[in-house]
Amino acid sequence: MASSLESTLTRAWLERGPLAVALWPLSLLFRLLAALRVALYRAGILKAERLPVPVVVVGNIFIGGTGKTPLTIWLAQQLRAAGMRPGVISRGHGGAGDAPREVVPTSRAQDVGDEPLLIASRAGCPVVVGRKRAAAGRRLLELHPDVDVLITDDGLQHYALARDVEIVLFDGRGTGNGWTLPAGPLREAPSRRRDFTVVNAPGIGPALAAAVGGAPWQMRLAGDCAERLMDAGERVPLSALRGKRVLAAAGIGNPGRFFAMLRGAGLEVAELPLPDHHDFRDDPFRAVDADVILVTEKDAVKCRQLEHINNDPRLWVVPVGAQIDAALAAQIVEKCRGRPTA
């Protein structure tokens, strides 16, 4: 029932149809309350905690997945290449408990969340999860005092943590119908301030650029190979899978983006879209008739920890990387280094 409601709303949010129009008065109230909350923080009535190192927020105003995790990984790698020592904090969607905890190689996805586990394995920097971002940041700095910049994965609307740089990420859907929840897909108005706008899409036409505002930077997600789930050392180019019966499964915010990437590599795939953060305990592959099953890295971190799935020889993971103009990282580094010491 919840999945059906989500699908109905997702479709309604892309246009100003009857359902969206009926919900529009509620969206005005939502927008008013969101604006009031921001105003209370700016006026100092609600207090935001400032940490002793620069904080960079990677977030979105479009509800659901737009590609924040690949962008976070790319940014951590770029900051490290620039001589900085980044750490990442995250809510840890689906994780158990509220207290801050560090993500380590032996962490379980159900304890810390799938995205933080992926970031920890790919970004090469410390990761701490916690419901309260400021507390997670303090804990990370206690454990790793050499860290000199924090990236918060999501948390754009978590104003209790002061930030120095805000990156707002969109995908090809832009701002949908342009309305806030529940009549549209936006958590905040498209006009909200930010330092940088990034669009995860194959191209940015004038209409998309106008919808997201600012001077957007383009991000592309690219993957050209597959790794066997049970042995990451075994790798083949995606082109080697042409002609095979391939099922593509994705438990991410926008599965269609993963399927389109695979088709762009010349594969004919059957699609299995799954709910975002799907836990795979039901083994959706048991009755599948396919030579190869391709999954995302986010899904793979959970599948590898499940005995009833991790030895399935048909399962392969498609690593993807964010491709963005390195000039964006240079500007973010400049802003971080120009931030006054707390």
Q: Which residues are annotated binding-site positions for ATP?
A: 62-69
Length of the chain (residues): 342
Query: Residue 1 burial (CB < 10 Å; 0-12/13-18/19+)?
Result: exposed
State the angle between helix axes of 2-12 and 18-42 in degrees (0 to 180), rounded to the nearest 10.
90
**Interacting residues of 168 by C-beta distance below 8 A, sequence separation 6+:** 59, 60, 61, 156, 192, 194, 196, 197, 198, 212
- Reduced to 3 states (helix: H, G, I; strand: E, B; else coil), residue 66 is coil
Joined tokens for residue 3? 């999945």
- Please give the single-letter amino acid code of residue 287: A
**Interacting residues of 222 by C-beta distance below 8 A, sequence separation 6+:** 261, 320, 321, 323
Binding site members: 62-69
How far is it, in rounded angstroms, from Cα 144 to Cα 140? Answer: 6
